[in-house]
Structure 1
């Protein structure tokens, strides 16, 4: 009697696992693929945008002030908004300059010579992948819940996969069997799933956190005091403020400078706190008085704020630089492959049991029912909205 109950339970979990893997396979594959490529979105932009490239040199790089001055001179009709340090030695400095309406332009500066290498609009591969993966180019209040609802399904798929795979812990080194396409695909699907357990759990948990934030559970962002607006410093004036910020937090590795009209100059980056976004560590300086008016330290965050600041580095694997991004990209690729092989398994199983001449793709499409059309519609809607979404406001 107990064995019958166990079999029925596993059968129910198998139905859940199959439903998720088949019905939502098109939409799930799109979200997983865009998220995987988003890990290296900046690098892809680097490949297609020559001004982003720099040639590493042995001599010291130029100062933040020199970079800011070069960007400001390249766009005298715009306001310097943000300045980013190179992501890697072969990247140029990136400055955002705004004319007050619409999205900012990007100005690229060579880190060593402080000479402008080129200018580019707001649209980029990074913007496309980020916005497509995050909210399908829809308003965030609509798009984020749709995308993040997949985290619930990933968690359910993870649990159902473990339950239906008998003695799964023995399968980590079980190589796929050959000779039969369906059997080999199934073995490969299970093998990838086992080695990706930690990654599926991580993506599901961080995705659920994004859903919680969108529904009103977001952590409060620390406020900084207002200061009187004035001309934004560049050149030597900015370098003096950089020195002040570094004295205020000697451990701060400045990765970004924001020139705000109401809160002065904000220096952000990585400091003593580990596994947080750059914005968790900051020194705010009033450019008129050269006084530090606020300091943010990631170590002082409460649990709610710390979880919020950890989500992005964990979700995209950016916390360890190039090496963790490679790992996240590889496992993202495996996860995307799992979504595809799951559909293949279903189609081949039905084709074999029915002994039908109908192709596997047609069988899979029929099995998706209305959900296949919904997935295609969401992807097409994303592509249709792309020109206005990534060319408009940030």
Structure 2
């Protein structure tokens, strides 16, 4: 690699790193507690627990579950209901003043007794603040897209830093940290060592993070594409005056997909259905298939299935990337590894910022600057 090529890559690495570093530090710091969100919620007493009952206790009728939740807020309407893949004892109901009300209420109802367990409180909690800062900086879609752009810059910095790592290591053994020299040189070695060790993890988390920031756009595209095709026969019909019961539609969905279970249900008029349908979203029972949904549209009056199809590749990629981003696939040990890599990345980002702020000047700038260029440090 010629000196001119090295300088070009160094310029790319320096400025892509400098622009995104502060935001990447924020994402790493807020992402750390999110890796252990289940454990933290349990520690803080925010984990919802259903009463213990004999195994095989039959489930309550879904319409009775819905009635129990709506009884807390007369005059409100259902928006969604969902259950976790590994906990079918609790239904989480989302209700609002209308189908699209952003000021919704969330209520946990026992799936076996149709009794309210508690009203969920998310706004203002520690984990909710961490999630909002990590997902969109409290700026909605614009915040998500901005963080996505910062993620792209991170990927550019990772690639350019990898290119620059080879000429730097040509005269050094792997893992060398020159502690007896200047403090800046020691941090330069540490920056490069931790950077190359965490490279694969940072690429995976950075790429999946970028994909996650496109979630709203991908969903809107799906709604205007495949969902529009699925509801086309109803397009010219007026919305039904009253809705039929939900249970027959869910039973029909389970008969259509006997190897799957219900993940969440969208009411007519919400973003995941049409004015004429319940959107019943099914998923598998294995660790991977539990993340992948299959929409089943059920006529909200007759309870009959009208259409069902697999999600397109772009939504499948989105759903796979979300748990991979937070290390949710492999249990607690994968969470621990994710946390260790996260902390190491914080050191990489912090040391890169330190190297920039402490960059040499005067007569020594060129000599020490050449070392920084070869290493790819900002």
Q: TM-score, normalised by structure 2?
A: 0.71
1:128 equivalent in structure 2: 129
Find the counterpart in structure 1 of residue 240 from structure 2: 228
Report matched runs for 1:2-151 at 5 Å.
6-22=2-18, 24-41=20-37, 44-48=40-44, 50=46, 52-54=48-50, 59-60=55-56, 63=59, 65=62, 67-86=65-84, 88-89=86-87, 92-100=90-98, 101-110=101-110, 113-121=113-121, 123=123, 124-125=125-126, 127-140=128-141, 142-151=142-151
**What displacement does 1:263 show?**
3.6
Structure 2: distance between partners of 1:214 and 1:167: 42
Runs of at least 5 residues in structure 1 that lack an aligned partner in the other structure: 356-367, 369-394
The corresponding residue for 2:277 is 264
TM-score by length of 1: 0.69
| Secondary structure at the counterpart of residue 242 of structure 2 | coil
Instruction: Work out the CA distance in 2 between the residues paired with 1:347 and 1:313.
Output: 36
Residue 201 of structure 2 corresponds to which residue in structure 1?
Answer: 199
CA-CA distance at 1:104 after TM superposition? 0.6
CA-based RMSD of the aligned residues comes to 4.2
Deviations 1:26-55 (A, max 9, x none): 232113333444444465445445462446
Deviation at residue 70 of structure 1 after TM alignment: 3.2
Distance 1:242 1:285, change over 3 A: same
Output the CA distance in 2 between the equivalents of 1:179 and 1:162.
Answer: 26
| Contact 1:62-1:114 within 8 A present in 2 as well | no
Write out aligned runs for 1:220-369 (5 A). Answer: 220-221=222-223, 222-223=226-227, 224-225=230-231, 226=234, 228=240, 230-231=242-243, 233=245, 238=247, 240-261=248-269, 262-271=275-284, 280-298=293-311, 301=312, 303-318=313-328, 327-347=337-357, 350=360
Work out whether residues 78 and 94 of structure 2, in 8 Å CA contact, stay in contact via their aligned partners in 1. yes
Helix, strand or coil for the counterpart of 2:2? helix
Give the match's secondary structure for 2:166: coil
Distance of aligned partners of 1:153 and 1:79 in 2 relative to their CA distance in 1, 3 Å threshold: same
CA gap 1:353/1:165 in 2 versus in 1, 3 angstroms: farther
Q: What SS is found at the alignment partner of 1:106? A: strand
Q: For residue 251 of structure 2, give the secondary structure of its aligned residue in structure 1.
A: helix
Deviation digits for residues 214-246 of structure 1 (CA, Å, limit 9, x no counterpart): 88997433214257353463xxx62x4332211
The count of residues paired between Structure 1 and Structure 2 equals 344
* Runs of at least 5 residues in structure 2 that lack an aligned partner in the other structure: 270-274, 366-377
Confirm or deny: 8 A CA contact 1:46 1:91 kept in the other structure. no
Between 289-298 and 200-209, report the one with greater CA deviation: 200-209
Q: Which is worse superposed, 32-41 or 251-260?
A: 32-41
Distance in 2, Cα, partners of 1:344 & 1:117: 50
